[in-house]
Structure 1
Amino acid sequence: MASTVRTRFAPSPTGFLHIGGARTALFAWAYARRHGGRFILRIEDTDVARSTPEAVQAILDGMQWLGLEADEGPFYQMQRMDRYKEVIRQMLAAGTAYHCYTSREELDALRAEQEARKEKPRYDGRWRPEPGKTLPVPPAGVQPVVRFCNPIEGVVAWDDQVKGRIEIANAELDDFIIARADGTPTYNFCVVVDDWDMGITHVIRGDDHVNNTPRQINVLRALGAEVPQYAHLSMILGDDGTKLSKRHGAVSVMQYDEDGYLAEAVVNYLARLGWSHGDDEIFSREQFVEWFDLDHITPSAAQFNTEKLNWLNAHYLKQADNARLAAEVANRLARRGVNPEAGPALEAVVALYKERVGNLNELADAVELFVAEVHPAPEVLAQHLTDAAKAALASLRGRLAEVAWDKAAINQAIKDTMAEHGLKMPQVAIPLRVALLGVPQTPSIDAVVEVLGREAVLHRLDRYL
C-alpha cells in the first residue's frame, strides 16, 4: 500500500450536502489529517440529468462552512471522460471487457424467465467471449454496451474497517455494464478509475455502497491496481429511529447555519455520530483529529439527537469570542433588514445574552431589541405599565438623567426609586424592561440599562411618560 494515506470524499451533485454526507466527509478528512495524509474532493457529476451547478456550489459551501478543506480537487468526473474511455479501450484489448449487443427487449424477456424460475435476475453472459464458444453475429446498426468480464469462480473478500470481514461469491455478481451504448462510462467504473488514478488508500463511505464494493474490487484487480482499504459507515437514523430524511427538518448542512448553529458545534456533534473516544462529549477539531481512528466507529446505525446538538451548540456559544458572535449577529440582523449599527456596541449586548440562548438566531432576536424600534404588545403594556409603574419610572428617569453611567450607580438609582415609592425590585424592574425592550424578562436590569446607553434609555422611557 502507498506510504501516504489518501482519502476522498466523492459526492454526487444532485442535491445539497446533507448530514450523512457531511459526516462521511468529516471522517475521511480527519483520517487523512490524523495520518499526515491527503484529503481529496471529487465531484461525481456523471448523472448529467440530475447534476446542477447549484448543487455543486451547495456542496462546496457546506464543506467550507464545516472547515473541511481539501488538499486536492475538486476534481470533476465529467472532465475525465477521455481517461475513462482510454481505460475501457485497454480493457477491451486485454479481454477483461467485451461488447454486448443484447437489446432491452431481450434483457426484459431474460428477466421474466428468471423470475418465473424464482432465480435472481442477472445477465446470462450470452455475449461473453469464452474459449470454444461461438458468438452470434453482431446485429447491424446496434450500438453495443461494454460489459466487465467478472470472475466466475471464487469469492471477493475484504476486511471492512467498520463491518469486519465481508465475502461475496463471484457467482452472485454478473458482468455489469461499464460503458453505455452511447459510450458514456457508468458510475461503478468511473469510481474505480478515479480511486486508482488518485492513489486512494482508504475509501470511507456510507454502507449504501457495500454492494458496489465487490464489483469495484474486481475491476481494480483486472486493472492490476492496488485495492484500497474500505470502511463503510452505517446510516444515520432520525430522532424517531427511522432513516434520516427530508421530513426530519434540516436537509442541507447549510440549513444548520441558517438555523443559528455554530460550525464547531455541528462538527463536534457529527464526530460523535457513530464514533466515540471513551465518554468524551465535547472536544475541539484538533483533539478530534488526534483521537480519530476507524476502530471506534460503531457498525450499528447512529441515531440523530437534536437535543444533544442543541446542548452542544449552547456550550460553544458560551465559549465563543464576543467579537465573532457580534459579527455573526450583525449579518443576521442585516439579512432581516435591521441596521446592526443603530444601537449600542453589539459585543456588549452579546456578552449579556450568550449564556441565555441556544443558537445565533435567538441571540439575534435578543440583540434586535437593542438596535431596532420595539413595539410591545398592548396587553403587555396594559399589564406592566400601570399608573403606579409610570410614576416610579418618571422618578427613575430623573435620576438616570443625572447619575454616573455605570452599573453600580444605575443600580443605586433603581433602589432609591424603590424606596421613594415603597416598591419591591420587580415592581420597578419589570415595567422598566417593558418600556426599554418590550419584554418582561431580560438579564440583570442594571446591566441592560448600562449597555443600552443613557440617550437610548431616556428616549425609550419618554415614549411612555
Structure 2
Amino acid sequence: MNTPQSAPTAVRTRFAPSPTGYLHLGGARTALFSWAFARHHNGTFVLRVEDTDVQRSTPQAVQAILDGMKWLSLDADEGPFYQMQRIDRYKEVLATMLDAGTAYYCYSSPEEVEQMRELAKAQGRKPKYDGTWRPEPGKALPPVPEGRKPVVRFRNPTEGVVTWNDMLKGPISIDNAELDDLIIARPDGTPTYNFCVVVDDHDMQITHVIRGDDHVNNTPRQINILKALGAPVPEYGHLPMILGPDGQKLSKRHGAVSVMEYDTQGYLPEAMINYLARLGWSHGDQELFSREQFVQWFDTRNLSKSAAQWDPKKLNWVNAHYIRELTDDALVAHVAPRIAARGGNTEDLDLVAILNLFRDRAETLEQLADNAMLFCAPYQPADAQLAATVLTDEARATLKKFATAAAALDAWDVPTLAALVKQFLADNGLKMPQLGIPLRVAVTGQKQTPAIDAVLAILGRDLVLQRLNQV
C-alpha cells in the first residue's frame, strides 16, 4: 500500500468514495473534477477508499470503483488508501483528543438521546444531544451505567460561527450553537465517517476538497475537528447534484448505473470524460474537447452553481463524435471483441471496411457490433414471407442477368461495382429499388443494408455469385 507523502505539494486533492455500491455518475464526475483540478495545478490526486461502514462495504464494490477509475483513466498519484487499514491511527488521534479535552466519553443510550431530541423539538429548540456527559467546570457527571460501553463525542464549540468560502457557493456561515457534539467513535471503538475524513485529510495534507453538495452539512463539523487538532483547513467546493432528463434526482430509471455499465453499452471513456466534464462545467460554448484541453482549461470559477441535467441524447452525440475520431486499428480493437461475444466470425473479412460502412451513423460500439453481424454472422437466407414478396419471378430474372454481368467484371471493388449497377439500370430501363432491394435480399437475407456496391465488395465475388445463383 502507498503511504501519504510527508511534504505537501502546492495542491493536493482527493476522491474518497465509500464502497457500498458501484462508482455512479455523480461520483465519477466528482472524481473527474478533483483529478482535473490537481492536474491543472501540477498537484497531487489522492484516491482514498472510505470503508469503515463494514456492514455495507464489500470487496466487490471496492473493485467496481477501481475498475471505473481505471476505465476513465483517472489515475491517482497516491493510493488507494483504505480507512480500515488506518484504524490504529484513528485510535491514536482519539486518545490525544480525549487527553486534550476536545473529546469525551458519552454513556447516553440511543434511546435516551432520542428522548432528548424529542423534548427539544417539543420546546421549540433544535433537536440534538443535550450534553449530559459533556464535561464542564464545576459540573457533576451522572454515575456510569453498569455494563454500558460509551461512544466518544467531539466537544464542539458552543459559541461563534464556522465560516468557509466555498469554491462554488461562496461564503457559508453556520452558528456553532446549531451543531451537535458529534459522535466520533462508536461503542465498539470504531471511528465514524466524519472523524476519519478529518484525520485522513490532515494526514494526507489535502488542500482542496471537491465533493457533492450532500456533504455541505458535514463541512462545519469537519472544520471544527480540524481546528481542534490544530490542522490547516482545506478549501471546500460542493458540487450541485445531477438531475435526470425529467428534472428529478438522477436514479436508475434515468440510467444512473455503474460507469462500467456504459462500457458494456458501448460508450468510449473519452466520450464519458467529455460529457461528464460538461455536466456542471463549461469553457465558453466548447462542447467537444480532449482530456488535455479539459485539464488546461479547468477552473473552479467555471463550475456551475445550479444542478446539471443528464441528457442521454447528448451523451450519444458526444460518443458518436469520438467513434468517428477513432483510428481504424482502434475501432477494430474496440468492436472485434463485441462481435466475438455475439458469436460473429471476422476471419477472412475486411473488418475495417465493414465497420467504416456503419461508423458515421453509429452512436455506440454496440450498435457497430450489431450492424457488423450482417457480414460476420452465418448467412441466413430471407424468410419465406420476405422472399415471396421481393424475389418474384421478374426479380429473379433481373438478378440472373445481373449475376452474369457481375461474373464478367475484371475487378471487384466499390468503384467497379458502382459503375456496373449504374450501367445495368440504364441498359435495362430499371430504377434502383427494382435491382437494389432484390439484390440485398438475395445476398444478405435483409431488405435494408448500407450502399449495395460496398456490401457486394465486402462479401466478395465468389460469395455474391453463389448466393445469387441460389435464388
TM-score range, shorter chain: over 0.9
Instruction: Determine whether 1:360 maps to 2:331.
Output: no
Residue 333 of structure 1 is matched in structure 2 by 339
Contact 1:392/1:417, CA 8 A, preserved across alignment: no
- For the residues of structure 2 that align with 1:345 and 1:142, how far apart are their CA atoms? 74
Residue 448 of structure 1 is matched in structure 2 by 455
Counterparts of 1:82-97 in structure 2, within 5 Å, are 82-97=88-103
Counterparts of 1:210-229 in structure 2, within 5 Å, are 210-229=216-235
Contact 1:395/1:417, CA 8 A, preserved across alignment: no
**CA spacing shift, 1:424–1:322, aligned 2, 3 Å:** same
Displacement after TM superposition at 1:107 (Å): 1.5
Residue 297 of structure 1 is matched in structure 2 by 303
More displaced, 17-26 or 450-459? 450-459
Question: Structure 1 counterpart of 2:432, which letter?
Answer: M
Residue 316 of structure 1 is matched in structure 2 by 322
Residue 435 of structure 1 is matched in structure 2 by 442
Cα shift readout 1:264-312 (whole Å, capped 9, x = no counterpart)? 1111111000110011111111100000010011111111111111111
Q: How many residues align?
A: 463
Residue 125 of structure 1 is matched in structure 2 by 131
Q: Look up the SS of the partner of 1:267 in the other structure.
A: helix
Residue 284 of structure 2 is matched in structure 1 by 278
Displacement after TM superposition at 1:419 (Å): 4.1
Contact 1:157/1:168, CA 8 A, preserved across alignment: yes
Displacement after TM superposition at 1:353 (Å): 1.2
More displaced, 347-356 or 212-221? 347-356
Counterparts of 1:97-246 in structure 2, within 5 Å, are 97-246=103-252
Q: Look up the SS of the partner of 1:168 in the other structure.
A: strand
Residue 25 of structure 1 is matched in structure 2 by 31
CA RMSD of aligned residues (A): 1.6
TM-score, structure 2 as length reference: 0.95
Question: Structure 1 counterpart of 2:152, which letter?
Answer: V
- For the residues of structure 2 that align with 1:9 and 1:77, how far apart are their CA atoms? 13
Question: Structure 1 counterpart of 2:161, which letter?
Answer: V
Residue 410 of structure 1 is matched in structure 2 by 417
Work out which of the residue numbers 367, 375, 400 in structure 2 matches 1:370: 375
Q: Look up the SS of the partner of 2:48 in the other structure.
A: strand
Displacement after TM superposition at 1:377 (Å): 4.2
Work out which of the residue numbers 343, 350, 353 in structure 2 matches 1:345: 350
Among all aligned residue pairs of Structure 1 and Structure 2, give the percentage whose two residues are the same amino acid. 63
- For the residues of structure 1 that align with 2:101 and 2:458, how far apart are their CA atoms? 78
Question: Structure 1 counterpart of 2:215, which letter?
Answer: H
Contact 2:250/2:256, CA 8 A, preserved across alignment: no
Displacement after TM superposition at 1:424 (Å): 1.7
Q: Look up the SS of the partner of 2:238 in the other structure.
A: strand
Displacement after TM superposition at 1:380 (Å): 3.0
Contact 1:163/1:299, CA 8 A, preserved across alignment: yes
**CA spacing shift, 1:455–1:80, aligned 2, 3 Å:** farther
- For the residues of structure 2 that align with 1:65 and 1:426, how far apart are their CA atoms? 45
Question: Structure 2 counterpart of 1:395, which letter?
Answer: K
Cα shift readout 1:346-382 (whole Å, capped 9, x = no counterpart)? 1111111100221111111111111112434443333
Contact 1:344/1:453, CA 8 A, preserved across alignment: no
Structure 2: any 5+ residue segments left out of the alignment? 1-6
More displaced, 424-433 or 78-87? 424-433
Contact 1:410/1:446, CA 8 A, preserved across alignment: yes
Counterparts of 1:60-75 in structure 2, within 5 Å, are 60-75=66-81
